[in-house]
Amino acid sequence: MTMASHPGTPEDPLRVAVVGSGPAGFYCAGHLLTAKDLTVEVDLFDRLPTPFGLVRAGVAPDHPKIKSVTRVYEKTAARPGFRFFGNVEVGGDIAHAELKSHYHAVIYAVGAETDRSLGIDGEDLPGSWAATQFVAWYNAHPDYRDLEFDLSCKRAVVIGNGNVAMDVARMLLLPREELELTDTADHAIDPMADSGIEEVVIVGRRGPAQAAFTNPELRELGELADADVFVDPAEMDLDEHSAHSIEGEGEITPRRNVEILTEYSRRMPSGKRRRVVLRFLRTPVAIHGNGRVEAIELVRNELRHGGDGSLRAHATDAHETLEAGLVFRSIGYRGVPIEGVPFDEWKGAIPNDEGRILDPHEQHAIAGEYVVGWIKRGPSGVIGTNKRDAQETVDHVLEDLAEGRLPEPEHADPGAIEALIAERKPDYVSFADWQAIDAAEVAAGEPLGRPRVKFTRVQEMLEAARRR
Ligand code: FAD
């Protein structure tokens, strides 16, 4: 590899591979393809035949407006210089080193695909799941197609106080009439609509003032057609530090959360068929059951100041056991390492300095390697957060280009990588192929009044692409 001349002209375009077609990958592609006075070619890879990452496979099916952000990504895909290589796994079908030899820069946008575990006894019992598994199953992610959720129990417990926990609780309580109008995977609609669940308990380690919910999601929980919301008034009795912590100008979200929760704690039940209960200051210490989940043991916490000024949960001696047939943990996500790319095991992310991937031994930036989105900063923020994040990463790519710091690839010809992919993965999916898959899904949904009926197997997706 030699150092570059100055790519970015029509004769010698800047060639960038973006790995992962979720929001972060698409925003990077968009920023690159609209960079001023530069000719850029972006190849966007995804291991699935379908693009859009968690917008398709994470965002709850009853939030179709949020999913419509994909229109912005479609505009990016229509720009000259854009290509999509779906059904191609980097680190599997194509190696990191092979990408490096075909592009001036490689940007990883692979998200955080796995979950953090609780590390408690009983966590592996049948009936104990990662929220990621359930979410991916009801959203038709092909890797999770064959999971089987027994939803016949009366009580489910969701561990975690973020929006994903809210999504899981809400989806568990949606009535059939609502579910059937969404793009929930067909295999999930009957089990969810006919479930025996009467109560979902959401458990937070810290107090109401520290919950990471956003206000609209918390409000939505109080508006469910089929379930009353419950908060114990005693748990709304904030300690002095918590009360103080939400007073500041920048604390609008937690302050509103506390107001909404206070209102919930004063509500009288309206006689709905089901309940959703928010519990605070509790940590699970064990999951009990004979052959499957039957109960969860919680310990009560109190909040104390940590060294960094934050309020930390400390266990007391008070234990309680809740009968439950299902436990979903939603306490954070971790990235999955890719061979040849540095990985910080502790953070579950790729080590970087504002998007430039760092050599873990030398701590300097590796020329031509970048990162963006959840695999860069960890699993935080909403879809829009990835736009700003992508701007930061792309700014550094362009700065390195201007400073002559990008390596010159051995095979800059766009035909070379296409030939390699066609050899390795003859059934790779182009963006036009995806549009055929998309059109088939939308057409199947139309007569049912649904946004789409999702394919749930890679083979079905490839067949729809082939019919193009
Ligand atoms: P992702 O969206 O995860 O995209 C990563 C992509 O990389 C995937 O398409 C994956 O297939 C691909 N990939 C992974 N490994 C490889 C590989 N080796 N080779 C090729 N491709 C690979 N935000 C909101 O604003 N509103 C919401 O309602 C909302 N709901 C959410 C619900 C859930 C359950 C979750 C988990 C998140 C939600 N978010 C929501 C947050 C939002 O989805 C994230 O901020 C965003 O998706 C992160 O983008 P990303 O591009 O970093 O990762």
Task: Name residue 45's beta-bridge partners.
Answer: 19, 85
Q: Which atom of ligand 1 is nearest to the CA of 380?
A: 45
The reported pLDDT for the residue numbered 311 is: 87
Per residue in 122-165, pLDDT tens?
999 999 999 999 999 999 999 999 999 999 999 999 999 999 99
Q: Which of 45, 48, 59, 380 to mutate to test the pocket of ligand 1 (most atoms within 8 A of CB)?
A: 59
The answer on 420 and 324 residing in a single domain is no
Q: Domain of 223?
A: 117-331
- Give the pLDDT of residue 6: 78
In a domain, 257, yes or no: yes
Q: Residue 111 Cα, ligand 1 centroid: separation in angstroms?
A: 5
d(CA 100, CA 1): 9
User: Taking the CB of residue 223, how many other CB atoms lie within 10 A of it?
Assistant: 9
Model confidence at 274, pLDDT cuts 50, 70, 90, reads very high
451 lies in some domain = no
295 in any annotated domain = yes
Q: What is the CATH number of the domain that holds 315?
A: 3.50.50.60
At 354-363, the pLDDT tens digits run: 999 999 888 8
**Within a domain: residue 137?**
yes
Mean model confidence pLDDT for the chain:
96
pLDDT at 412: 87
End position of a domain, from candidates 308, 331, 354: 331
Residue 441 lies in a domain: no
Q: Helix 23-33 vs helix 70-77: angle between axes, to the nearest 10 degrees?
A: 40
Q: Are residues 244 and 276 in the same domain?
A: yes
Quick one: three-class SS letters along the chain? CEECCCCCCCCCCEEEEEECCCHHHHHHHHHHHCCCCCCEEEEEEECCCCCCHHHHHCCCCCCHHHHCCHHHHHHHHCCCCEEEEECCCECCCECHHHHHCCCCEEEECCCCCEECCCCCECCCCCCEEEHHHHHHHHCCCHHHCCCCCCCCCCEEEEECCCHHHHHHHHHHHCCHHHHCCCCCCHHHHHHHHCCCCCEEEEECCCCHHHCCCCHHHHHHHCCCCCEEEEECHHHHCCCHHHHHHCCCCCCHHHHHHHHHHHHHHHCCCCCCCEEEEEECCEEEEEEECCCCCCEEEEEEEEEEECCCCCEEEEEEEEEEEEECCEEEECCCEECCCCCCCCCECCCCECCEECCEEECCCCCCEEEEEEECCHHHHCCCCCCCHHHHHHHHHHHHHHHHHHCCCCEECCCCCHHHHHHHHHHHCCCCECHHHHHHHHHHHHHHHHHHCCCCCCCCCHHHHHHHHHCC
For residues 66 and 64, give the distance between their C-alpha atoms in angstroms, rounded to a whole number: 5
Tell me, yes or no, whether 342 and 320 share the same domain: no
| pLDDT at residue 306 in the model | 78
**Does residue 450 lie in a domain region?**
no
What span, in angstroms and rounded, lies between the C-alpha atoms of 462 and 48?
A: 10
Residue 2 has pLDDT above 70, yes or no: no
Confidence of residue 286 (pLDDT cuts 50, 70, 90): very high
CA of 270 relative to ligand 1 center, distance in Å: 37
CA–CA distance, 303 with 378 (Å, rounded to integer): 25
Assess whether 87 and 121 both reside in one domain: no
pLDDT tier, 221 (very low <50, low <70, confident <90, very high otherwise): very high
Domain end (from 287, 303, 331)? 331
Q: Considering 282, 303, 331, which residue would you say is the last residue of a domain?
A: 331
- Pair (199, 82) in one structural domain: no
Q: Residue 340 is part of a domain; what is its CATH number?
A: 3.40.50.720
For residue 379, the CA-to-ligand 1 centroid distance in Å is 9
Binning pLDDT at 50, 70 and 90, where does residue 248 land?
confident
Specify whether 29 is located in the same domain as 121.
no
Work out the number of other CB atoms within 10 angstroms of the CB of residue 369: 24
Do residues 217 and 137 both lie within one domain? Answer: yes
Q: Is 19 in the pocket of ligand 1 (CB under 6 A)?
A: yes
Cα–Cα nearest to 154, from 197, 111, 122, 200: 197
Tell me the backbone φ, ψ of residue 301, rounded to 5 degrees: -110, 160
Does the structure show a pLDDT above 60 at 3? no
- Give residue 334's identity as a one-letter amino acid code: R
Cα 461 to ligand 1 centroid, rounded to whole Å: 20
Residues 308-337 have a mean pLDDT of: 93
Task: Compute the distance between CA of residue 305 and CA of residue 324 in angstroms, rounded to an integer.
Answer: 32
Percent of the chain with pLDDT over 70: 99
**48 C-beta closer than 6 A to ligand 1:** yes
Q: How far is the CA of 53 from the centre of ligand 1 (A)?
A: 4
pLDDT at 360: 87
Does the residue 187 lie in any domain?
yes
Q: What is the pLDDT of residue 5?
A: 58
- pLDDT tens across 91-133, in order? 999 999 999 999 999 999 999 999 899 999 999 999 999 999 9
What's the structural domain count of the chain?
A: 2
Q: How far, in Å, are 120, 161, 162, 196, 284 from residue 322 at the CA level?
A: 16, 18, 21, 17, 10
How much is the average pLDDT of 296-320? 91
Tokens representing 445 are: 């949904």
Does one domain contain both 249 and 360?
Answer: no
Radius of gyration, alpha carbons of the chain: 24
pLDDT band for 308, please (50, 70, 90 cuts).
Answer: confident
Would you state the pLDDT for residue 325? 98
C-alpha dihedral, 311 to 315 to 317 to 318, nearest 10°: 80
- Confidence at residue 215, expressed as pLDDT on a 0 to 100 scale: 96
Q: Is residue 467 part of a domain?
A: no
Same domain, 99 and 152: no
User: Do 146 and 289 belong together in one domain?
Assistant: yes
Same-domain status, 239 and 102 = no
Ligand 1: residue whose CA is nearest its atom 52: 373
Residue 362 pLDDT: 84
Residues 198 and 171 in one domain: yes
CA distance 426 to 158: 42
Per DSSP bridges, beta strands 82-86 and 128-130 are: unpaired
